[in-house]
Amino acid sequence: MFIPLVACAGANYRFDPAPAPIWIQQLPVTPKAGSVDAVGSVEVSLEPRVDMQRAFDAARQRLAESLVSEIRSQSSDWSWSKKDDQQTVVEQTVDVRTDIKLDGVSQVSAYRDEASHAQYVLARVDFGALAERVATRLRRAIEDIERSLDEVSGQKTNNIVHALFALLKTRGQTEALLEDVRLLGALTSKDPLLDRYRALIRRIETVGRTIVSAGTYSLSITAPDTTVRDRLRGATRDMLGKWGFVETQGKDPALRLTMAVDVKRLGEEQHGGRTEFLYGAVGEAHLFERAGEWTELAATLPDGRYTELHANEAEAKRRAINAAADTLLSIFRSLLRGAAE
């Protein structure tokens, strides 16, 4: 609500002639036949063009908020969830932001009112036309994802990791469509694209289970210290387990991961009249599919990059071997995550 103000002497606010149009008194959002109107208003300044844009933005925001209310009235939506360590698609309550990108909003009229010292704008959106634009955009995106999913489904079992990462990218593209899916659902709940989207994410779920079920791996770790070796093995199992892979002792795993860490004595240094021992961490990790090594995931610790210096030689060596294990695992994890993005 705006409180009438007394104009400063000499100021020209360029008010429109009276009387004010009736539409400035209508409800903030008013449904029409096939469309919805909204009125936005702001206090006037000496810049009419700026005021007009601000009032139009306020009207467009009201239209978007009316859609958000409609979306929230839908009790469920489609999303991804993790259950029993498996990625699954479930229906869950919608949590919708209010920043819907609403296009196709037109300005119907505007009035600069002296009595209320306000700039009013009447805006309108044709929800039928908007639904058509959203459906066209969504249809093209779904078709692209379906083609990508066909390629993923055709991957041979000797390229398990490639297939899995391709599937994850497909899933990410599908999740990116949620805003348009929710918007289309609010505009028209009977569009067949909504069922097509449901079928798409369930197909991704099915393909994912097929890939992961074949995603067995063997793990070979060498380290001069059994404690470090066991710790590295446990951390690697946890990492691969989060991707859905299962360690096997079988003769033909889909993946073979080899990791080796060690230390190299680099020499001695004199500091403050005492001898300190310098050790460097060395290590490498390699991932093999049945088709061969995935060289993009090969991790190597450069000689002399990670070093430890200590007056106690055993301590210097212990710190270096721990640094080798932690750093190699961190590098490999980053490479794996990067390949999945």
Domain limit, last residue, from 191, 213, 235: 213
Q: Please report whether residue 6 resides in a domain.
A: no
CATH of the domain at 165: 1.20.58
Q: Please report whether residue 165 resides in a domain.
A: yes
Statement to judge: residues 186 and 247 lie in one domain: no
| pTM score | 0.59
Statement to judge: residues 275 and 310 lie in one domain: yes
Q: Please report whether residue 15 resides in a domain.
A: no
Statement to judge: residues 109 and 134 lie in one domain: no
Q: Kindly give the confidence (pLDDT) of every residue in the chain, 341 residues in length, as a single tens digit, with 9 standing for 90 and above.
A: 444 444 445 578 899 999 999 999 877 666 666 788 899 999 999 999 999 999 999 999 988 887 776 665 553 444 444 444 444 433 343 444 445 667 789 999 999 999 999 999 999 988 888 888 889 999 999 999 999 888 877 765 557 777 777 887 888 888 888 888 888 887 777 788 989 998 998 888 888 877 777 778 899 999 998 999 999 999 999 988 887 788 887 778 888 999 999 999 999 999 888 999 999 999 999 999 888 888 888 999 988 889 999 999 999 999 999 999 999 999 999 988 887 76
Statement to judge: residues 114 and 135 lie in one domain: no
Parent domain of 42: 22-82+91-126
Domain limit, last residue, from 72, 107, 126: 126
Residue with tokens 């200590």: 310
Q: Please report whether residue 335 resides in a domain.
A: yes
Q: Is 129 helix (H, G, I), strand (E, B) or coil?
A: helix
Surface-to-core class of residue 83, CB atoms within 10 Å of its CB (0-12 exposed, 13-18 middle, 19+ buried): exposed
Residue with tokens 């991707």: 243
Residues in the chain: 341
Q: Please report whether residue 32 resides in a domain.
A: yes
β-strand pairing of 35-43 with 118-126: antiparallel
CATH of the domain at 99: 3.10.28.20
Q: Please report whether residue 272 resides in a domain.
A: yes
Q: How far is Cα 110 from Cα 122, in angstroms, rounded to an integer?
A: 6
Domain limit, last residue, from 198, 213, 228: 213
CATH of the domain at 226: 3.30.160.100
Query: What is the b/e burial string over 298-334, where b = at least 16 CB atoms within 10 angstroms of the residue's CB?
Result: ebebeeeebbbbbeeeeebbbbbbbbbbbbbbebbee
Statement to judge: residues 47 and 110 lie in one domain: yes
Cα→Cα distances 155→159, 162, 231, 245, 291, Å: 7, 8, 34, 17, 12
Q: Please report whether residue 265 resides in a domain.
A: yes
The number of domains in the chain is 3
Q: What is the CA radius of gyration of the chain?
A: 31
Statement to judge: residues 57 and 46 lie in one domain: yes
Helices vs. strands in the chain: H and E counts, helices first: 7, 13
